[in-house]
Each structure stands twice: as C-alpha cells, then as structure tokens.
C-alpha cells in the first residue's frame, strides 16, 4: 500500500512538473487608445477592470504556475475579447455605449468583477 502511494505521489509530482513547461502567453501588447475618463473613474477602472480588460494586466506571481496559469490567461483573453480599454478608440461610439451599458449592468448584478479576481 505504501509503495502504491509513493508511486502515485511520484507520478503526480512528475505530471505537475511536466505541465509547468506548457507555454502560456502573459503578454501586454501596446495600448492603442485608452478610454477617456475623469481621474477618479480611471483609477477605479484600473483597480477593478484593467487586469482582464486591457493590455495593462498585472500578472500575479501565481500566474506562472500551471494549471492556474492556464485559467488566468484564459480569463484575460476572454475579457480582452469582450471589452478592451486599451483598444477603446477602435470601437465606434455606439459600440462604446453598448459596452459601458453592459458593464454597468454586470457590475450592478454583482457579476463583475468575478469572485476569483477579487481579493
């Protein structure tokens, strides 16, 4: 029994070590055009939204450890795909308005920021 546990532990350790070599993109491309907002609103957005919705993500140290790194990179990719403050000037004014309305609704409903990104 001890031998099976030891072997299982060794296999788990080997798998955990091996997955650390799976590449994960933690890039921050150049900012094209930021959202125009008063300083206090900009500070709030940077604090609560920019890690997933901009090219100014602050990547925590645990974002380098798989499998957590995969989840974080996926969340950032999805967030940037839905709304990206670093590409704000690329959006038409009607799209900007829709994005802001949708964001306000999600914040009011407690859907944003997601639980895992708070704290």
Residue 40 in domain: yes
Q: What is the rounded distance in angstroms from the CA atom of residue 105 to the CA atom of residue 107?
A: 5
Q: What is the pLDDT of residue 119?
A: 46
Residues 6+ apart with CB under 8 A from 29: 55, 86
Note the pTM of the prediction, 2 decimals.
0.83
Q: What is the rounded distance in angstroms from the CA atom of residue 104 to the CA atom of residue 109?
A: 9
Residue 15 in domain: no
Which pLDDT tens digit goes with each residue over 53-106? 999 999 999 999 999 999 999 999 999 999 999 999 999 999 999 999 999 999
Residue 112 in domain: yes
Distance of CA 83 to the CA centre of its chain: 12
How many distinct structural domains can be found in the chain?
A: 1
Residue 89 in domain: yes
Across the range 28-47, mean pLDDT stands at 93
8 Å CB contact between 109 and 55: no
Residue 82 in domain: yes
Which pLDDT tens digit goes with each residue over 43-52? 999 999 999 9
Residue 4 in domain: no
Tokens 């993500």 label which residue? Answer: 57
Residue 95 in domain: yes
Q: What is the rounded distance in angstroms from the CA atom of residue 119 to the CA atom of residue 117?
A: 7
β-bridge partners, 33:
87
Parent domain of 51: 24-117
Q: What is the pLDDT of residue 117?
A: 58
């Amino acid at each position: 029994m001890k031998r099976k546990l030891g072997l299982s532990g060794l296999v788990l350790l080997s798998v955990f070590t091996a997955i650390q070599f799976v590449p994960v993109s933690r890039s921050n491309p150049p900012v094209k055009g930021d959202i125009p907002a008063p300083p206090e609103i900009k500070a709030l957005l940077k604090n609560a939204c920019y890690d997933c919705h901009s090219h100014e993500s602050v990547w925590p140290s645990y974002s380098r450890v798989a499998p957590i790194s995969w989840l974080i990179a996926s969340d950032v990719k999805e967030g940037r795909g839905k709304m990206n403050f670093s590409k704000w000037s690329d959006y038409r004014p009607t799209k900007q308005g829709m994005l802001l309305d949708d964001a306000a609704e999600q914040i009011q409903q407690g859907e944003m920021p997601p639980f895992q990104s708070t704290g």
